[in-house]
Structures are given as C-alpha cells and as structure tokens.
Amino acid sequence: MGVLVSLRWWLVFGVGMCLLPLVVSTGTLRILVFAQFLAIFAMSWDILSGRTGYISFGHPFLIGIAGYTTAMLTYHLGVPLYFSIPAAVVATMIGSIFFFIPALRTRGTYFAVVTLAFMEVLYHLMQVVQPKLTGGTRGLSGLPTIILGAVPNYYLSFGVMFVIGVGLWLLIRTRLGTALSTIRMDEDAARSSGLNTTKLKLFAFMLSAFVAGIGGALYTHYLGSIAPRGIFDISFLFSILIAALIGGAGTIVGPIMGAYFLTLLLEFLRPYLPGPERYLIYGAITLLAYYYAPKGFHNIFGLLWQRLGALGRRE
Amino acid sequence: MLSQILIQGFLLSGLYGLLAVGFTMIFSVGRVLNLAFGANIMIGGYVYFALAQEAALPKLPSFIGAVLAGVAFGVVTYLILVRRFRDDPIAVEISTLILAVVMQALIVMIFSPAPRSMWPLLPGVAHIYGVAVSLNIVLATVVSWVVLGGLLVFVHKTHLGRAIRAVSMDPKGATISGIDPRQISLVTWGLSGALGAMAGVFLATYTQLDPGMWVFPLITAVAVVIVGGIGSIIGSLIAAHIIGFMETITTTVIAAELRGVFTMLLIIIVLLVVPKGLFGREEI
C-alpha cells in the first residue's frame, strides 16, 4: 500500500516533467538535460556506495569506460549506435570487475582510495597508450548524436532517468535492497546471519556499472565528444558525489533531487556572479549543506512530512 | 644514466617523504584521511607566490608566511570539519574533499586559472657526479630532510611528541594518563598543515603553480602512505623512496607521462596483497 501511494508521487513527478517543455525555454531544457544525466550518474553511485557503504571515489572510471567504448566504436569503425551503446554497457560491467576485486579485500577508506587510483590510472592511460585510438589528450570529437534538438534530448534523458529511478527505487524496497543495506550497517553480522555478502556486493557493482554504462554512453553521444580532462576529472567526481550526498545517500530519490538542485543552483547563480566567484559560492553552499545535513534533503523532507502529519492528527 | 636515476630519485624521494609524513600524521592520531591536505599544498605554493613574487618580500619571510598559512588552514579544518564529524571517518573524508574543491575555486578566483611560474628558491645549477641538478631541488631536499629529522627527534624525545605517539597508539590509554587527545589532534593538524605547505612551495618551484596542482601530490601522498603502512613515519619514508625511485626510473627509461600509472598500480597491488601496507602500523 505504501509503495502504491509513493508510486503516485513518481507519476506526478513524471507527468509534471513531461509537461515542462510547454512552459519553459529551450535554454532551461538544455540545463535540465545535464541535471538528468547527473542524476543517472548519482543514482549509479548511490546503488553501490549509498546502499552498501563501499564509497567509490572513482565513479568517472566506469563512466569513462562506457564513453570511450562507444566513442571509439562509432568514430573508428562506424558502428551504429544501437550496437555501440549496448557494447559500452557490457564493457562497463566487465570493467566494474576491477572495482569489485579490491572490495573483496578492502573496506572504507582503503576502498575509496583504490577507486580514486583506478580513475587516475585510466586518465593517464587514455592519454598515453594508443593516442591514435583514444584521441590522446584532446580526445575524440564529432561523434554521432542520437537525436537532435533540446526538446527530444530532454525527453530522452528524462525518460532514461525516470525508468532507472523507478526501477532502482522499487528494487531497494525489496528484500534484496534491504540485504544490500545490511552490508553498509555491519558486513560481518550480515555474513554471519547467512547472507552471501560477496554475491550481494557483486550484484550491486554490476547494477551500478549497468546504470553508469547507460548514462556514460548516452552522455557521450549527447555531447558529441569525449576527452580525458572532462571525464576523469575531480570536479566531475565531486558533482556526482555531492548530488548523491546532499540529496540523501541510499535513497535513489535523494540523488535525483540533489542533481537537480546542484545543476539549477549553478545556473541560478550565473546572472549574479558571472565570474569564477560562482564556483566558490557553489562549493561553499554544498559544503554548508553537507555540514548541516549530512543525511541530505531526503531526510529533511521526510522529517518535515512527519511533523506535518503529526500536526494534522492533533487538530 | 645510472647516476642520474640515483641522484634524481633520491632528490624526489625527499620531497615525497615530506608530503607523506605530513599526510600520515593525521591518520595516526585521528584515524581519518585528510583529503584537504591537497589544499594545504596549494595554499603553501600560492601564499609563497603572493608574498615573494607579487609583494616582492624576501624569500625567507615569505616561506615562513606560507608555512604559517598552512598551519592556520590545518587548524581551522580540524576545528570546523573534523570535530563535527569525528565519529565518521567517511564523512570527514567527503567533507575535506569538498573543502579542497572549494579552496581550489578560491584560488582560481584570486589568482586566475592560468598557471603561474615560480622563481626558484635558489637559482643556479650544481653538478653532482656529472649530473646537472638545479640548486633549488637540492635546497628543497636538504630542507625536507632537516625537517623530517627534526620531526623524528620531536616525536621521540619531547613530551609533546611522546603524547602524539601515545594518542596514535591508544587514545583511551592516553586519556587515562592525562593527555587530552583533542589538544594533541589540534597540534598534529597544525604540524601536518605546516609540512603540507612546505611541500607545496617546493612542488611549485619544481614545476609550476596551477589551481589543479593539488590532485597529483595528494594521490602520491596517499600512495606513499598506503604502501608504507598507514600511520608509520618510518614506513612512509621507505615507501617514499620506493615510489620516488620508481617514478624516476619510469620517467627516464619509459615515458614521463606514465610515471603516475605505475604508482597507482603499486597502490592497487599493495592493497590487494598486503592491505596493511609493507610496514604495518606500529610506531607513528
């Protein structure tokens, strides 16, 4: 029953966002496209790190594998998109095994550092090894786009984000989702109560890579180009991490809220602060948000909702 | 070729030692990784640049100014962020990472995103066994070793140093013997900030100043610390030499761009094979 009530909110959100192109400018839609891609990446981070507590500082590694796979297939071999994008998703899932192996031995801080190291390795390798294939430091540009125009791209990115969001949101409500969060709470206790945590972790990594792969491949074709500086970048990692955290890690709805908030915040500040001060204020606001609400907006809204409910009953 | 590798490897390792020891001290005392250490490096470099080159002050006061700025930043980070998230190392890591990005934005705002070149601390070139080395790097190495030696004496011979080691071994036991771990943490964060700022000045004179300059040294410091064993000063010094020489060999024999790759692969391998690092954690 609770799930059905909440699904109604998803429906309201979906219908509302579908009607949005009727009222806002195409410029705003282009901004929202970025928010929606960020939301996909943040959800991919969330299903791995927010749920199981294995904090990934190297998510651009997965996104980069997807982006480069589809970019090289289409650029050099002229492979059609309907083949190159699934291939990129599969490649990302295979690449996530590199992520998974350290998770068998290390936890917490150590795991976070290894993932950061993976990102850096790929950053250097993409520039140095086979620059003819990867485009070296400049990367590849002039990649084919899936569809043209702000409105179709808005619907495409929203649709993908919405389907992934509802799917993951339903998943974390199942017993499987609960089992994943036991790994975060106490992995040893989960294991001793008979859960196969290795299998559960593998599942979380694969699912996260699947989502990152879809997002990374579509994002690359939306931009039409890929370069090591843009993908394996600390500020890209920062956006993903912060979107998930200030929205509310482990909730799937939170990262979506966080992604819209971050993207719109940066755009809202633009007219007031055209210069580099904008990034300072933007960073400072996210730091304050994390400082005062480390559990994220999702938690704050949840508490407010409860308070309102309690007030309603009292009257 | 061999003498070049030996000399340059040794010179680079001294700097990495400084970097890694500054970074690992905080972990030994507080069990958290301070990702804002990268910002410390950046602050050291830019404050020195502002004082010595833009305000045209003499070099030594500028250097001291940069170190003091590092101390202040370390202490403020500890008081504001770390005290709030003390029970949660992951929250400390995330919030210090955000802080580093914020500081980068601040640097871009004040100094523009364009790279700046720094004058050497000591101009000129020395020839050691036929290898040309800039005096700047020699000075940086000598200062690094003097500081590291002083630090080792400090943690082993003075009361405050022993208190730092006591907290790193067992905070509860240290509290029972009348040491306030919070005060010790504060001192450690200040010291670590000083070492980071110093390393930042040297790094900036080795290459150049740019707002993204903190990422690679931070990852190198993490690498050294992981390979040496988190929390061990001696382990970090040995690992600094392993990584310093490995990078020098990669740069001279294979390709300069690949030096980071081998370092990263080393971290991954060490963490998989000996997760505690080569030298465990016994002494700070």
Query: Residue A188's pLDDT is what?
Result: 87
CA distance B162 to B168: 10
Alpha helices (H) along chain B: 2-30, 37-48, 59-77, 89-111, 135-157, 159-169, 171-176, 181-206, 215-228, 233-249, 259-273
Q: Which residues of A touch B99 (CB under 8 A)?
A: 287
**Higher confidence at residue B232 or residue A90?**
A90
Range with lowest mean pLDDT among A211-225, A253-267, A294-308: A294-308
> Of B93, B99, B260, which has the smallest distance from its Cβ to A109's Cβ?
B93
Domain ranges, ordered by start, for chain B:
2-121+132-273
Region B10-32: mean pLDDT is 86
> Of A113, A235, A275, which has the smallest distance from its Cβ to B226's Cβ?
A113
Q: For residue range B139-151, list pLDDT tens digits in order.
A: 888 999 999 999 9
Interface size A-B, in CB pairs within 8 Å, comes to: 110
CA distance A161 to B127: 62
Q: For residue range B63-90, list pLDDT tens digits in order.
A: 999 999 999 999 999 998 888 887 788 8
Hey, are the CB atoms on B90 and A276 less than 8 Å from each other? no
Alpha helices (H) along chain A: 2-19, 26-45, 51-52, 59-77, 81-105, 108-128, 131-134, 150-171, 175-192, 197-223, 228-231, 234-247, 253-269, 277-292, 297-314
Q: For residue range A48-71, list pLDDT tens digits in order.
A: 988 888 888 889 999 999 999 999
Q: Which of A134, A150, A151 is nearest to A67 (CA)?
A: A134
ipTM of the complex: 0.83
CA distance A50 to B145: 43
CA distance A200 to A103: 12
Q: Which of B60, B62, B244 is nearest to B145 (CA)?
A: B244
pLDDT surpasses 60 at A5: yes
Tell me the CA distances in angstroms from B21 to B142, B145, B164, B198, one per residue in order.
16, 11, 14, 12
CA distance B204 to B210: 8
Q: For residue range A104-157, list pLDDT tens digits in order.
A: 877 777 788 788 888 888 888 888 887 888 888 888 888 888 888 888 999 999
**Higher confidence at residue B80 or residue B275?**
B80
CA A206 to chain centre: 14
Q: Which of A242, A224, A231, A225 is nearest to A279 (CA)?
A: A242
Residue of A nearest to B262 (CA): A121
Q: Which residues of A touch B85 (CB under 8 A)?
A: 294
B267 in contact with A at a CB cutoff of 8 Å?
yes
What are residue A53's phi and psi, to 5 degrees?
Answer: 80, 0
Query: Residue A1's pLDDT is what?
Result: 45
Nearest CA of chain A to the CA of B153: how many Å?
A: 30
Q: Which of B279, B247, B242, B273 is nearest to B260 (CA)?
A: B247
A291 in contact with B at a CB cutoff of 8 Å?
yes
pLDDT surpasses 50 at A299: yes
pLDDT surpasses 60 at B283: no
Q: Which residues of A touch B223 (CB under 8 A)?
A: 117
Q: For residue range A241-280, list pLDDT tens digits in order.
A: 989 998 888 888 999 999 999 999 988 888 888 777 888 8
Q: Which residues of B touch A279 (CB under 8 A)?
A: 105, 108-109
Query: Residue B282's pLDDT is what?
Result: 45
Given a contact cutoff of 8 angstroms between Cβ atoms, the answer to whether B47 and B178 are in contact is no
Query: Residue B63's pLDDT is what?
Result: 92
Hey, are the CB atoms on A277 and B222 less than 8 Å from each other? no
pLDDT surpasses 60 at B284: no
Given a contact cutoff of 8 angstroms between Cβ atoms, the answer to whether B195 and B147 are in contact is yes
Quote the Cα angle for B111-B117-B121, to 5°.
115
pLDDT surpasses 80 at B251: yes
Hey, are the CB atoms on B98 and A276 less than 8 Å from each other? no
pLDDT surpasses 90 at A301: no
Quote the Cα angle for B83-B86-B87, to 5°.
155
Q: Which of B124, B144, B145 is nearest to B133 (CA)?
A: B124
Q: What's the CATH fold of domain B2-121+132-273? A: ABC transporter involved in vitamin B12 uptake, BtuC (1.10.3470)
CA B144 to chain centre: 10
> Of A105, A114, A276, which has the smallest distance from its Cβ to B109's Cβ?
A276
Domain ranges, ordered by start, for chain A:
29-233
Hey, are the CB atoms on A110 and B275 less than 8 Å from each other? yes
Q: How confident is the model at residue A2 (pLDDT cuts 50, 70, 90)?
A: low
